[in-house]
Amino acid sequence: MTEAGPTAGPRDGHARFVARLAFPPDPFQEEAMAALDEGCSVLVAAPTGSGKTLVAAYAVDQALATGGKAFYTTPLKALSNQKYGELVAAHGSGQVGLLTGDVAIAPGAPVVVMTTEVLRNMLLTGSELLGGLRTVVLDEVHYLQDPYRGGVWEEVLVLSPPEVRFVCLSATVNNATELGAWLRSVRGPTEVVIERERPILLRHHFAVQTRDEPEPELVPLLAHGRPAAEGLRIDQMVRRASQTRSAAWHGRVGGRRLPFRSPRRTDLIECLDDRELLPAIVFIFSRAACDDAVGQCLRDGVRLTTKEERKHIRRAAERHVETLADDDLRVLGYGEWLEGLESGIAAHHAGLVPAYRETVEECFCAGWLKVVFATETLSLGINMPARTVVIERFTKFGGAGRATLTSGEYTQLTGRAGRRGLDAEGHAVVLWTAETTFAEVARVALAPPPDLRSAFRPTYNLAVNLVRRFDRATALEVLRRSFAQWQASQRDPKGKDMLADHLGRRLAVLEELGYVADWRLTEKGARLGGIYHEADLLVAEAAGSDVLRGAEPSVLAGVLSSLVFERRRVRRGATLPPRRHGPAGKGGRGLDRLGEGRRAELASRLTLFAAEAERLRATEEVHLVPRTRTPEPGLAPAVTAWARGASFGTALDVAGAGVGELAPGDFVRSVKQLADLVGQVARVAVDPATRAAAEACVPMLVRDVVAAGAVPGSATDDGAES
């Protein structure tokens, strides 16, 4: 519990806080805490794992000691759950609340952990919970460059009352000084604290296997701040061999194989184990490949745990799945999953259900698991440090195809290497592949961090809330205070009204559709102000039309699922999990509880919804507004079946018939996101029967596997995509 009372001064509180720490604060942490003592806001830009959150912990401690209220915001439910657990351990459950959209614990507590979207929504609606707020922590503030969610951070910073002080925590970025200057322009006195050094030395390696050698070799990647000579010689040998092979294709000379190959996973694990470099996180940018890697290790007989560790692992697993039915555990392949865990090996990705991810996180942090094969989601703030981080492939698929990792991505991934208090140094290992040269990997490792670029653009929801809260001139001034406008004006004086232009186009759409008239909200506009979704205007249109009117709860859920589900791009040749033992027949008919009449109604309403979306998109095209996404109906039958009480296995089989193999974690996450959207519709729908159907639908969705896991204090990310 916090020792200081409401009359304690900042210096007294500072001394008491530092005295409780296990080790002295680093200079950058002391600098940031001193700025808070002076009443300033602070921006801390430092490498992943360097201890930025100590500054946030101090700000929370200050708030409690002086009788103020503090909000701790994160971009992901995973981090909110984790931070809630940490703060409860430090201050007691009576002092700390949690708000993540689908979870509300003690929202009136003096310290409340929440997702950043929740705080943005509070600010737009003028929530009474804002009363007495003095401090806001914005964790992972570099998320403001995220193209889909980044604008939330800027809305919070611009809309918060002037008396609120901010603690902004960011990964290392190249233009932290520019970000700090903007923060001063909107928040007043702000100290910028930049730390470029890691608290634990990071050694970079290149793992390569000479084709005729039985074991991999770890070659130093860097030497004296430059690419190591030994690695450059590898590049030269590969180039010579490649030229010979090229000539062979043209029939001029005889060819030969490349002299190197990428190490096999099990060989690499043995290599790391021999050098005492475990535990390790192996980043693989494919869920299927993560699962395949665990299976490969088990087939090769890898076992890394002691008898005592296996006991701890089994107890942890049983505790996390105790609320799941035996049938659900069979669907989830519990036996095979537990076998991997007890061998010290696991996968971690968003395709796993929350209870599985929670178990992996707990066991790895406790030191019982030795190797976790993970997608990049794990690197986004979840606290799972390792002695070694391995990057299996130095390229990944993005919107423009396969591309080399950026310096920022490399830093984010390798930031998990090195456990403070346990390791003298951390290790980053990149595996050799024919597609990436040693020199390229070294260049990225040595490159400066990227600039932070705003992705903020006004949404329909923000537009109507600006109309509701401000006159036109003030609303435009609010937009001009954004980081996006700041950067646009710095680059080009002609860009001074860029966001005003964006707002004008959105308003033109809203006026044509009857949401705004002469800078006043209509009844429809007021409803749109309470909808927070990527397709906010389309949701509002559906909530006031025949798309949902008269639908029973399960069908309503099925229709709205088309706005939360997106088909994943499946890598050609990817290995999918074995098909589950579900109901017989196409799509599980007979046990899906749908019936032909309900199926026909669902299809009809989805067709009506698609037409509604096309009308909206045509209006957007006329006004040069980025078009709203089209509904994706593939998951609708499975969601409808689930809402009607079908089993988890049946729902997954119905989904498989509609969209192909669907990972259990994807289904759970989609249904949780859907429950949040249905809850919003329950608040804004025009028709009383539609509101009642939406209200009744939420508990029908959040049950059994969907309700399990995400225990406060865990690090389960229901918003993860990898």
pLDDT at 626: 94
Quote the pTM value: 0.88
> Over the chain, what is the mean pLDDT?
87
Over residues 349-391, the pLDDT tens digits come to 989 998 999 899 999 999 999 999 998 877 666 778 899 999 9
DSSP bridge pairs for 427:
203, 388
Task: Place 69 in a pLDDT band, splitting at 50, 70 and 90.
Answer: very high
pLDDT at 51: 86
The three-state secondary structure class of 242 is helix
Tokens encoding 55: 């500054």
> What CA–CA distance (Å, rounded) separates 624 from 698?
36
For residues 195, 198, 203, 205, the Cα torsion angle rounded to the nearest 10 degrees is -60
Write out the DSSP string of 337-400. HHHHHHTTEEEESTTS-HHHHHHHHHHHHTT---EEEE-GGGGSS----BSEEEES-SEEEETT
Task: Place 716 in a pLDDT band, splitting at 50, 70 and 90.
Answer: very low
The three-state secondary structure class of 684 is helix
Task: Place 710 in a pLDDT band, splitting at 50, 70 and 90.
Answer: low
pLDDT at 574: 37
The three-state secondary structure class of 5 is coil
Task: Place 509 in a pLDDT band, splitting at 50, 70 and 90.
Answer: very high
675 touches 681 (CB < 8 A): no
706 touches 668 (CB < 8 A): yes
Write out the DSSP string of 117-162. HHHHHHHHHT-GGGTTEEEEEETTGGGGG-TTTTHHHHHHHHHS-T
DSSP bridge pairs for 193:
44
List all residues 6 or more positions away from 659 whose beta carbon is below 8 Å from its beta carbon: 565, 567, 634, 635
pLDDT at 519: 95
> What CA–CA distance (Å, rounded) separates 144 from 150?
4
Over residues 303-353, the pLDDT tens digits come to 999 999 999 999 999 999 999 999 999 999 999 999 999 999 999 998 999
pLDDT at 249: 42
84 phi and psi, to 5 degrees? -60, -45
> What CA–CA distance (Å, rounded) separates 124 from 466?
8
Over residues 517-549, the pLDDT tens digits come to 999 999 999 999 999 999 999 999 999 899 999
CB atoms within 10 A of CB 305: 19
Task: Place 621 in a pLDDT band, splitting at 50, 70 and 90.
Answer: very high
The angle formed by the CA atoms of residues 450, 485 and 182, to the nearest 5 degrees, is 65
The three-state secondary structure class of 401 is strand
DSSP bridge pairs for 111:
70, 96
Over residues 402-445, the pLDDT tens digits come to 788 988 889 889 988 998 888 889 999 999 988 889 999 999 99
